[in-house]
Amino acid sequence: MKEPDPNAKISVRGLEMAFGSFVVMSDLNFDIQEKDIFVIMGGSGCGKSTLLRHLVGLKEPAAGSIHYQGEDFISAGKDERHSFMRRFGVMYQSGALWSSMTLAENIAMPIEEYTDLKQSEVLDLARYKLALVGLSGYEDYYPAQVSGGMSKRAGIARAMALDPEILFLDEPGAGLDPLSSQRLDELILRLRDSLGSTFVIVTHELASIFAIANNSVFLDTETRTQGATGDPKVLREDATNPSVRNFLSRGEHQKTEELL
């Protein structure tokens, strides 16, 4: 097994994910470079969200290592790990906004918690983050008063609240109509280009995968390990693993069946 890449934003080696004696995935090895839009992909139940939880420190691996720019995240002490996690921004699958808070208050909460800014500065920063995701003018709306796509955008704004180096998004397009999902993809690309952020995204949506990802890992439910890693557009054509090819070309198969 290769040594972790010290130049990679994230370098994973020999990672094993398990619940007790049940092994979900083993021998995961991949690198995420700075400014990548890296997709964790695979069928339902393959462990995509579980891998994301390992990467952000919410679950301990059964074996293996995770390095952030050459620094060992798994063996780090409590304070050192906390400093790692300050570099992360996370948007959970549902958006996880507080329903009793306005959009601006949701974004302001982590800023208030982790900075010494004055209240007026906190609110100005919250407004700025909402403006970045196209929600200027919606600061005083509650989550129930906005659409699903807008709620997802607000979730991304909150993940960006503390200017993280890496944004982790869990199924950002889930439950959205195709147009809203496309707009969300366009937003992710703009944020990567304008802010220089690295994105790690869990998704099974082919349209999003091909629209935004330049790097990926495929989790294979049959072998319980990775089927491939790399640019999804290249893997669709060149992957030797049939599970990877079938997953990435399933839209083409569906079109063929419809024509028949």
Place of tokens 């003018």: 137
Kindly give the confidence (pLDDT) of every residue in the chain, 260 residues in length, as a single tens digit, with 9 standing for 90 and above: 788 999 999 999 999 999 999 999 999 999 999 999 999 999 888 999 999 999 999 999 999 999 999 999 999 988 888 888 889 999 987 667 999 999 999 999 999 999 999 999 999 999 999 999 999 999 999 999 999 889 999 999 999 999 999 999 999 988 888 888 999 999 999 999 998 999 999 998 999 999 999 999 999 999 999 999 999 999 999 989 999 999 998 755 444 344 34
- pLDDT, tens digit (0-9, with 9 covering 90-100), for 200-224: 999 989 999 999 999 999 999 999 9
Contact 207, 182 (CB under 8 A): yes
Q: Where are the domains of the chain?
A: 10-87+166-259, 99-164
Beta bridge partners of residue 84, listed in sequence order: none
Distance between CA 11 and CA 9 in Å, rounded?
7
| DSSP code string of 179-205 | HHHHHHHHHHHHHHHHH--EEEEE---
* pTM score of the predicted model: 0.91
Contact 130, 111 (CB under 8 A): no
CATH superfamily to which 10-87+166-259 belongs? P-loop containing nucleotide triphosphate hydrolases (3.40.50.300)
Burial class of 2 by CB neighbour count within 10 A (0 to 12, 13 to 18, 19+):
exposed
